[in-house]
């Protein structure tokens, strides 16, 4: 950990414009799952045969490929480079990808961005290992040492099973008040999925929840300093705190909105209802429902979905089904069916029916999600699969149906 202390204590000069042989070419072939990042660049992506990616793969060297590309009168755009990098990653040509990014940093055919340094860091770790990645990190210009690079460094350490290193990097991220990517937590959970490590998963989830809550609080505090906060921002904040389990914070914002805003919208009441119902606090949800009616706000289909979820979370299955049926009397437009509150709450209902092995009602809710094409998300199929497992019903065509409808299986289904 001595190197790590140096990493967190000292700063080297920014990365210079190096000579052609600045980076070494020896090292290990470590791998790390890359973040899913977009790329800037020209809209018209070159065809496969004439792409920069294919030239790089076929040329004797990266430099030769780049010179040939420019000799044809073509500029090296960021979009061409990122397309090449993604293709090289898929083919596990990590060393070639690193050489491409070294060329980009050295020749600077366009203004470098955080993503360029991220790719450089990623492939340095894969080819040369974590020590070289740490060294490179310190030479990246200070303005780019932000969320993406820190999280990528954590992922590189996790891929090498250097869990202590990754935890140290995560502490540094928290000190800098930067968010920790969900990819990091997902990777940690996977690494601790073996029987002798499984007990740690609950601690990881608790820390994930605490980090998300801290990040939300920090964001909300910043918003308090703004001269004007829209009513919609209050409702979104309430829902967000509810999702991370911070009921107290959601209630504080609800009190704040009641004292500063006029409660005249059903969506306002639905926001705090979603918090209570998500966590099965039925008594408080019932009080909010009565308050909604007293304020002249009519419950809509989403309101009843929230209430049904609250009943189900409290073990009141019959009441939940009755509430779902009550909601069906409301007009549900296509816009509502495709809205985030509707889809999220319907999926939560599906999860809870799956948990108790109620396959009939799980399939009923799944069909609704299928109509909205939400079932293309693999986690919806995971939930449906769970319902079959809990109900002890074998469905041989489930995986085939999943693929045909556009969803891709993951490790859970495997």
Of the candidate ranges 187-191, 195-199, 321-325, 362-366, the one whose mean pLDDT is the lowest: 195-199
Q: How confident is the model at residue 407 (pLDDT cuts 50, 70, 90)?
A: low
Burial readout 211-236 (b: 16 or more C-beta within 10 A, e: otherwise): bbbbbbeeebeeeeeeeebebeebbe
Q: What is the 3-state secondary structure (H, E, C) of 181-230?
A: CHHHHHHHHHHCCCCCCHHHHHHHHHHHHHHHHHHHHHHHHHHHCCCCCC
| Alpha-carbon 1 to chain mean position | 30
Residue 50 has a pLDDT of: 65
Higher confidence at residue 257 or residue 15?
257
Measure the CA angle with vertex 393, ends 387 and 396; round to 5°. 100
What is the distance in angstroms between the CA of the first residue and the CA of the last residue of the chain?
37
Q: What is the mean pLDDT of the chain?
A: 83
Q: How confident is the model at residue 31 (pLDDT cuts 50, 70, 90)?
A: very low
Q: How confident is the model at residue 19 (pLDDT cuts 50, 70, 90)?
A: very low
Residue 257 φ then ψ, to 5°: -70, -35
Measure the CA angle with vertex 340, ends 335 and 341; round to 5°. 100
Mean pLDDT over 50-75 rounds to: 89
Residue 49 has a pLDDT of: 46
Residues with Cβ < 8 Å from 169, sequence gap 6 or more?
A: 150, 153, 154, 157
- How far CA 394 is from CA of 133, 252, 352, 389, 407, in Å, comes to 48, 47, 20, 8, 20
pLDDT in tens, 169-199: 999 999 998 889 888 988 898 888 888 888 8
Element (H, E) at 236: helix 231-243
Residue 40 has a pLDDT of: 39
| Alpha-carbon 265 to chain mean position | 30
Residue 261 has a pLDDT of: 78
Q: Is the dihedral of CA 221, 226, 227, 232 positive or negative?
A: negative
pLDDT in tens, 201-227: 888 888 888 888 888 998 898 888 888
Nearest to 209 by CA among 175, 247, 161, 235: 247
pLDDT in tens, 107-139: 999 999 999 999 999 999 999 999 999 999 999
Taking residue 82's Cβ as centre, other Cβ atoms within 10 Å add up to 19
């Amino acid at each position: 950990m001595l190197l790590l202390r140096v990493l967190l204590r000292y700063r080297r000069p920014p990365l210079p414009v190096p000579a052609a042989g600045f980076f070494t070419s020896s090292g290990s072939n470590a791998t790390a799952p890359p973040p899913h990042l977009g790329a800037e660049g020209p809209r018209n992506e070159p065809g496969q045969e004439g792409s920069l990616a294919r030239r790089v793969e076929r040329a004797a060297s990266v430099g030769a490929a780049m010179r040939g590309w420019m000799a044809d009168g073509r500029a090296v755009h960021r979009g061409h480079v990122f397309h090449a990098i993604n293709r090289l990653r898929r083919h596990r040509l990590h060393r070639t990808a690193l050489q491409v990014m070294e060329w980009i940093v050295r020749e600077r055919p366009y203004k470098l961005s955080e993503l360029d340094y991220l790719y450089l860091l990623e492939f340095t770790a894969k080819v040369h290992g974590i020590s070289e990645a740490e060294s490179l990190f310190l030479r990246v210009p200070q303005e780019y040492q932000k969320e993406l690079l820190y999280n990528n460094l954590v992922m590189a350490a996790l891929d090498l099973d250097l869990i202590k290193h990754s935890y140290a990097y995560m502490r540094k991220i928290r000190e800098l008040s930067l968010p920790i990517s969900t990819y990091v937590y997902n990777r940690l959970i996977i690494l601790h999925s073996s029987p002798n490590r499984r007990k740690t998963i609950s601690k990881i989830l608790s820390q994930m929840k605490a980090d998300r809550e801290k990040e939300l609080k920090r964001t909300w505090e910043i918003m308090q300093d703004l001269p004007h906060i829209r009513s919609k921002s209050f409702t979104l904040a309430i829902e967000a705190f509810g999702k991370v389990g911070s009921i107290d914070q959601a209630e504080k914002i609800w009190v704040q909105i009641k004292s500063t805003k006029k409660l005249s919208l059903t969506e306002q009441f639905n926001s705090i209802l979603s918090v209570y119902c998500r966590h099965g606090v039925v008594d408080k949800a019932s009080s909010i429902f009565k308050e909604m009616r007293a304020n002249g706000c009519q419950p809509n289909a989403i309101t009843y979905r929230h209430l049904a979820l609250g009943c189900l979370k409290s073990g009141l299955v019959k009441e939940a089904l009755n509430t779902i049926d009550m909601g069906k009397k409301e007009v549900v437009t296509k816009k509502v069916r495709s809205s985030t509150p509707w889809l999220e709450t319907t999926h939560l209902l599906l999860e809870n029916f799956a948990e108790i092995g109620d396959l009939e009602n799980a399939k009923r809710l799944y069909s609704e999600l299928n109509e909205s094409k939400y079932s293309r998300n693999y986690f919806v199929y995971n939930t449906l699969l769970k319902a079959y497992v809990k109900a002890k019903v074998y469905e041989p065509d489930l995986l085939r149906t999943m693929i045909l409808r556009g969803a891709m299986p993951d490790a859970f289904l495997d």
